[in-house]
Structure 1
Amino acid sequence: MMIHINELFKELQMASNADFLAIALMDHDIGKIKWMYAHNALNEKYKAMEISYGRGVAGRVMQVGTAWLCSSKKEWTQKPSEYPILMSEKIESFVAIPLETYRFPIGVLLIGYRKEVILPERKVFEPYVKQLDQWIREEVKG
């Protein structure tokens, strides 16, 4: 399981030129969303983050069920403290994509950049999202 996700992260990082990748999943035991997997993290603060549905990057993406593409901090809709993963990882630009099992958002993939960038086209990350959706169905919720 872990080898597969790490390999997928490495490939996605190369394809997207991302600085940081992470996956948040709903933890039904506590009723919160947690950042479970990260690649190229500056620290391990993400492991302690618990996000409410509708809050933060992951909560918002899960609530609306659509990707959030943000090329600049100027586009953030809330104050910076509402986005702890972005602050702790010094993210300036990002793509946050819902991960689904059977058309129900169960997680979020965050592709982050530590500077403002022109975000990659969807065709760059879509194959990886499909693989992650499958991975969640098989490994995480299996």
Structure 2
Amino acid sequence: MKEKFNFQVEGVPLIKFQDAEKIKKLQSGKIYAKTLGYYRKREEETGDCEVGDKYEGMMNLNNAFIYSPDENKIVSANDKLFKTSESDDFVFCMFGIDPNLEKFKFTDKQKEKMLSFGDTALIVLNRAEFIHRVKVGAEKAGYKIHFD
């Protein structure tokens, strides 16, 4: 028999899939994050373009001209990747589900992929409060953060 759960959601709920130890640390205020470079390498090395992204934190320019300070001239940039100021920042990702969708169901492929993240899921029902707490904690520890 399937159990039904009733709970109050504030905004879009967030879900984090990881192993139980990292979820417990997250609940105690410790966030496990990796660099954007990790996600670029992941796609390049494994071909995993669902989690990995070879363009993460990069800017791809096509048919552009830019000033090159090294060469002291304007050069053509056609299908070139450039690092952004954020290209090696640490990131922490979560999955969000729009509660206004009538039905949401993970595909079998998505379920299989989720298992590679870990054996546990944390559901955050109040997104705004979660972001507020992360922001306050990060700033108190001297970190600059951005949410998007």
TM-score normalised by length of structure 1? 0.28
TM-score normalised by length of structure 2? 0.28
Specify which structure has the higher proportion of strand: 1
Specify which structure has the higher proportion of helix: 1
